[in-house]
Amino acid sequence: MQKKGHELLFTCRDKEFEIFLLKHYGFQYKSFGRKYTSRIGKIWGLIEFDLKELISGLHFKPDLLMSHGSMYAAHAAFFLRKPHISFEDTGNQEQVRLYLPFTSSVLTSNVFEKSYGNKQIRYTGHHELAYLHPNYFHPDPEFKEKLNLKKGEKYVIVRFVSWKATHDKGQKGLSLSSKNEILKELEKNYRVYISSEAELPSEFKKYKISVLPYEIHDALYYAEMFIGEGTTMAMEAAVLGTPAIYINSLQYSNVEDMKSYGLLYNFTDDSHVLKKVREIISNEGIKKEIQIKRMQMLSDKIDVTAFAIWFIETYPESVKVLRENPDYQYNFR
């Protein structure tokens, strides 16, 4: 979009690697500082970040605002009298309730189970395809050399979440004992790398992955297997054609879609995970099998990036076009 002459401003909070990535890719951005974790802090944060988003908008003077389900962008858009377009893939109600009344259009996958009325536009794809579609993502062929693997050595990636997000309340994934069992089993055949939101226990720190944030998708692409509690990285692994095991009591329709293609294995608790890990290890040809299934999935989906750019550039006419002819999206392959 920048190459086509559009000007963009990213607003963000100082969370995990967002600022690092914005700097790396050279995007113009405004950070609102650290997010709050306590209930009172989150209430205060809603007021504080709303004001900062509005002030940023008054200075930048955007034609429209876009977000991944951000209430701050939606609220600012309302006061700026500009449209807000949301890209939604989780349907977390505590967020949706706060942004939907102030949002003009909500873009969701066609398999998304929730309905948001006339504001909703369904497309045949997934959020992760906006950046991991082969039209845009090209894995670095020299990446594996950065891992200092021994000759013929293969690796797997394990992802742990912090369970501090509001939608994680009351949910569960892997127990500590299961983590230990799985890691010991994986070590027999692979180099193990862990990506974690939370601080790792001392006995797991030797597994911590040390790649740069913008290299994580290269790491997922070349891995023999992904095992994790986080929905996003499980979806990313599946989209990239890496056998993925997702363990979380929280269930999503996009995960179900990846399951239907045979790209992802989903468990609501850890009782049968080790058995599936052993099955994958014993199947030497599974990576090739998954890559074939990935190509079938890609042939069914649209190029989400090309679709999104068209939708934004021609907005609000694009809404009318899709209302009259939903199949127009298939022009973007």
Mind listing the pLDDT tens digit for each residue in 35-81?
887 888 888 888 999 999 999 999 999 999 999 989 999 999 999 99
- Residues 226-266 pLDDT 10s: 999 989 999 999 999 999 999 998 888 999 999 999 999 99
Which CATH topology does 10-125+302-331 take? Rossmann fold (3.40.50)
- Among candidate residues 52, 78, 62, the one with its CA nearest the CA of residue 1: 62
Residue 69 phi, psi dihedral angles, 5° rounding: 70, 40
H helices of the chain, in order, are: 18-24, 39-60, 71-80, 93-99, 129-132, 176-187, 216-222, 231-240, 253-260, 273-282, 286-300, 304-313, 317-324
Helices H, strands E: what count in the chain?
13, 11
How does DSSP assign 294-332, residue by residue?
HHHHHHHS--HHHHHHHHHHTTTHHHHHHHH-GGGGGG-
Percent of the chain, pLDDT > 90?
80
Higher pLDDT, 197 or 183: 183
pLDDT at 169: 52
Q: Where are the domains of the chain?
A: 10-125+302-331, 143-300
Residue 165: predicted pLDDT: 53
The pLDDT tens digits for 266-321 are 998 888 999 999 999 999 999 999 999 999 999 999 999 999 999 999 999 999 99
- Common-topology check for domains 10-125+302-331 and 143-300: yes
**May I ask the CATH architecture of the domain 143-300?**
3-Layer(aba) Sandwich (3.40)
Contact 241, 291 (CB under 8 A): yes
